[in-house]
Amino acid sequence: MHHRVVVKIGSSSLTSPEGGLNREAVQFFAAELAGLRESGYQVLLVTSGAVAAGFREIGYAERPKLLHEKQAAAAVGQALLMQTYRAAFQLHGIPAAQVLLTRTDFLNRKRMGNASMAVEELLKQGVLPIINENDTVSIDELKFGDNDTLSALVANLLKADHLVILTDTEGLYTKDPRIDPAATRIERVSEFTDEIYAIAGGSGSKVGTGGMRSKIDAAKIATRGGVPVFIGKGGLPGELLRAVEGKGRGTYFETSLSSLPMKKQWLGFLSTPLGTLLVDEGAETAMIYGGRSLLPVGVRAVEGDFHTGDVVEVVNEKREVLGRGIVNYDVVHLKDVLGLPSQEVMKKMDGIHRLEVIHRDEWISLK
């Protein structure tokens, strides 16, 4: 069975600092991806660069800031990007296909399933899928953030063995290496602590939209779905293969978790919580470490306006997010039974459909 690798390449790696497509860079990465395939890996590419490739072509002096301008630049740039990729992969005898996705595709589980089947068929036929956000129709509130999040969601959806996020720095450093020469690279990360997030900076280039923070977020999503992640450089011949084999110039994010079902991916990373439940220490322990459902006795407070079947976020007494789940109570009814033992809840809520506030099968831990 082929090892499946998702490779994400950002705008700064594919375009010049002033904007416009760097065709030599596209050809280089096509050769690197071809090398991965020759080594026996099944490869999917998540690419950015449509807006950066198109804004000069359309006549803008600099990367546009208004949404309709970015959408127009993307419409031109996406065609240029795919044309250049297809020509580059043809040099290696590799057919390539364009797959454009938006966050709303992932919000709908049926559309997620359809997208997954289409990509699986492309891979079965030996075609290299080139996946990008559909920038021409996306709105800012639903964008993926330079496709870092998109690459993680694709890796989880298609049960990849590796996610490689290529960037213009050698992974995660203790401090900004462009400013502080004493900064040292963090070789491996096994836990997403506050310290890890504190040292992740903002956007590193003028043509991209993602920074190290968005890459850390993507790594957390992918590893939570059982996919190990590499974030680092891949600008030298053979470096992409070395990154996949554990010898890359960057940071490796490890995981011991198994892949997530599609429902749990949607619940954890794509759903919109309509309320918040604050739980006590006993409930936190039961849910996080005991694999138990949440009962009314463990709920201390509720916020928001939600109904049975809605998604809610669960926090502990320190306001730390524990996870998300599908709630079995309307907010009005839940407020009536907060902190009550199960027998009292059943007496008070005559004819209750389900005792659990959140059943463990409709819950995902994000801690």
- A 10 A CB-CB count for 305 gives 11
Give which of 249, 206, 269 is closest to 64, Cα–Cα: 206
Where do runs of H (alpha helix) occur along the chain?
A: 11-14, 23-38, 50-58, 67-90, 103-107, 109-124, 148-157, 194-198, 212-224, 239-244, 262-269, 281-288, 331-336, 342-348
- At 28, phi and psi to the nearest 5? -65, -50
Q: Is 264 annotated as a binding residue?
A: no
Strands 275-279 and 299-304: antiparallel
Residue for token digits 């992640």? Answer: 229
N-to-C CA span, the chain:
32
Q: Is 70 annotated as a binding residue?
A: no
Please give the full DSSP string across 40-69, using - where no structure is assigned.
TEEEEEEE--HHHHHHHHHT-SS---SHHH
Question: What are the CA-CA distances from residue 55 to residues 15, 19, 29, 76 (Å)?
Answer: 11, 7, 22, 8
Q: Is 113 annotated as a binding residue?
A: no
Q: Is 349 annotated as a binding residue?
A: no
Fill in the amino acid letter for 13.
S
Spatial strand order of the sheet with 321-326 comes to 299-304, 275-279, 311-315, 321-326, 363-365
- Cβ contact 262:157 at 8 Å: yes
- Cβ contact 333:349 at 8 Å: yes
Q: Is 215 annotated as a binding residue?
A: yes
Q: Is 168 annotated as a binding residue?
A: yes
Q: Is 167 annotated as a binding residue?
A: yes
- Please tell me what DSSP assigns to residue 165: E
CA distance 112 to 153: 10
Binding site per annotation, positions: 8, 48, 135, 147, 167-168, 209-215
Binding site per annotation, positions for ATP: 8, 167-168, 209-215
Binding site per annotation, positions for substrate: 48, 135, 147
